Amino acid sequence: MNRFSLALSRGIARVTEAALGPYQTAVIRIGLSATWLLFLLRELPHRHELYGPDGPWSWNLAEQLIGTNGAFTALMWSDGRVWFELVYAVAILAGALLLLGWRTRTMSVLFMAGVLSLQNRSVFVGDGGDNVLHLMSVYLVFTRCAQVWSLDARRASRARAAHARGERVTDRTGPALWCVLGFVLAAVTLAGRMEGEKLIPALLWTVWVAQALWWLAGRRAKSAEPRIMLDVVANVVHNGALLVIMAEACLIYATAGWYKVQGSRWQDGTAVYYPLHLEYFSPWPALADLLSASGTLVMLVTYGTVLVQVAFPFTLFNRRVKNVLLAVMITEHAVIAVVLGLPFFSLAMIAADAVFLPTAFLRRLGGRAARARDRLLRRHRRTPVTGQHAEEDPEATHVGFGT
């Protein structure tokens, strides 16, 4: 009984004292925001046909569907072209700023709103990766995903250094952003634009109020206890969301694998052959023909895909086997991106898979990226002057992602 109590107390302390998986959640943040940002930029010339007023899924059809399922989309607040352009621009901006990790809590909410607004406006646009983005964008709001590799982490590090020197640090951007978004949220709510929608309005207000409590606890509280309590709550919510993300990734692979087992083409080992010869999924016909020329290779890839997807959730208790299967799945998604022409589906799945990557590997990867960045910055410090390179500027400042 004593051992059980000791283990339970250690588990509670681990969940409440720190936000687990800082590097994993940072990679998920970067991967999901990069995937969404690249998709929006690629489809920029076609945005009106995909999500806007010129799309085949008309305003009336979307209004009827949303009236039935109560889905959230800001694009249904107005059918004007200017409003659509504004929402699309905000979605791009939120994706870019979330990628950089600037005011991550606020940007994660705007990122989620952008993803849901566009996807729920035209529900038939997507390649499977949109479902992953849809779910993960909601989960990401609950995580503390800017602890490393973000501008927020760099700003927090500088603030701690300033406090250590006895300097006073004043943040004006955060409260100003909170006031602006609070005004917009109140105006939209009072105008009745979110009537009939279910979870998202409550989530938006909860995050807005939580930000106010966090600021008050840090600035106005006479003791450190309120801030400590809020920090514990934030850690518990983060760790719970991280667990949900892991369970969601396992569920995706498990259901995909077990559905494949029931298909006759997967049972006879020929399922991979057919998408390679569909025009929609063949951006490189010569490459597809090369891969499908060997019946043995097709059979091995078909059975291997099912085996890996079904087995992966059961390998989480063995680190070495899990890492091997994880590398296989990431490689498989990279091949799908090239061979089948599904880059955004593959990027979204790789970003979701990142939650299982080892911390040591991610830290080494981050260290190599930092060294490559430093070398690049050192090269750009030299400026051409009359055909020659000037000496390095001693006043040059080092700018990069906080780690």
Confidence label for 248 from pLDDT (cuts 50, 70 and 90): very high
Question: Do 68 and 148 belong together in one domain?
Answer: yes
Q: Is residue 389 part of a domain?
A: no
Helix 22-42 and helix 104-121, axial crossing angle in degrees, nearest 10:
40
Same domain, residue pair 274 and 209: no
Mean pLDDT of 266-281: 90
Please tell me whether residues 244 and 130 are part of one structural domain.
yes
Within-domain flag for 83: yes
Q: What is the pTM of this model?
A: 0.91
CB contact at 8 A, 211 and 105: yes
Question: How many other C-beta atoms lie within 10 A of the C-beta of residue 82?
Answer: 8
Distance between CA atoms of residues 364 and 383, nearest Å: 31
Residue 199 in this model has a pLDDT that exceeds 50: yes
Residues 135 and 235 in one domain: yes
> Does residue 209 form part of some domain?
yes
Q: Are residues 225 and 331 in the same domain?
A: no
**Choice among 31-35, 99-103, 107-111, 218-222 with the minimum mean pLDDT:** 218-222
- Domain coverage including residue 246: 19-153+172-252
pLDDT, mean over the chain? 88
Residue 144 lies in a domain: yes
328 shares its domain with 343: yes
Q: Cα–Cα distance between 309 and 37 in angstroms, integer?
A: 28
H helix count then E strand count, the chain: 17, 2
Question: What pLDDT score was predicted for residue 8?
Answer: 76
Residues 119 and 197 in one domain: yes
Answer yes or no: is 5 within a domain: no
Question: What's the pLDDT band for 94 if we cut at 50, 70, 90?
Answer: very high
| Percent of the residues in the chain that have a pLDDT greater than 90, as a whole number | 62
176 vs 184: CA distance, rounded Å:
13
Please, what is the end-to-end C-alpha distance for the chain in angstroms? Answer: 41
The pLDDT tens digits for 134-151 are 999 999 999 999 999 999
CA–CA separation, 188 vs 77, rounded Å? 9
Q: Which two tokens stand for residue 284?
A: 């490189």
Average pLDDT over residues 42-53: 92
Q: Tell me which DSSP letter residue 123 carries.
A: T
Residue 156 or 391, more confident: 156
Summarize pLDDT for 171-198 with one digit per residue, the tens.
889 999 999 999 999 999 998 888 767 7
Over range 31-53, report the average pLDDT.
Answer: 94
Sign of torsion over alpha carbons 116, 117, 120, 123: negative
* Confidence (pLDDT) at 382: 64
Does residue 383 lie in a domain region?
no
Instruction: Point out the least confidently predicted range of 54-58, 215-219, 248-252, 399-403.
Output: 399-403
In this structure, are 277 and 331 located in the same domain? yes
Please tell me whether residues 290 and 149 are part of one structural domain: no
The 10s digit of each residue's pLDDT in 294-305 is 999 999 999 999
Q: 218: number of CA atoms within 13 Å, CB side?
A: 13
Residue 307 within any structural domain of the chain: yes
Residue 176 sits in the same domain as residue 69: yes
**Does 378 reside within a domain?**
no
Which has more pLDDT, 98 or 375?
A: 98
Domain co-membership, 365 together with 234 = no
The pLDDT of residue 233? 93
Confidence tier at 69 by pLDDT (50, 70, 90): confident
pLDDT tens digits for 113-133?
999 999 999 988 888 889 999
Of 70, 78, 67, 112, which Cα lies nearest the Cα of 197? 70
Q: What is the pLDDT of residues 374-396, one digit of tens each?
A: 888 888 776 554 444 433 333 33
Instruction: Say what the pLDDT of residue 394 is.
Output: 32
**Under a CB-based contact definition with an 8 Å cutoff, are residues 381 and 51 in contact?**
no
Flag whether pLDDT at 158 surpasses 50: yes
Whether 183 and 233 map to the same domain: the answer is: yes
What single string gives the DSSP state of each residue in 257-296? HHHHHTSHHHHTT-GGGTGGG-GGG-SSHHHHHHHHS-HH
For residue 402, is pLDDT > 50? no
Q: Which two tokens stand for residue 265?
A: 């083409």
Q: Indicate whether 73 pLDDT > 90.
A: yes
Q: How many domains does the chain fold into?
A: 2
Which pLDDT score, from 0 to 100, does residue 384 have? 53
Mean local confidence (pLDDT), 329-353: 94
**Angle, helix 129-141 to helix 343-353, in steps of 10 degrees:** 40
Last residue within a domain, chosen from 228, 252, 276: 252
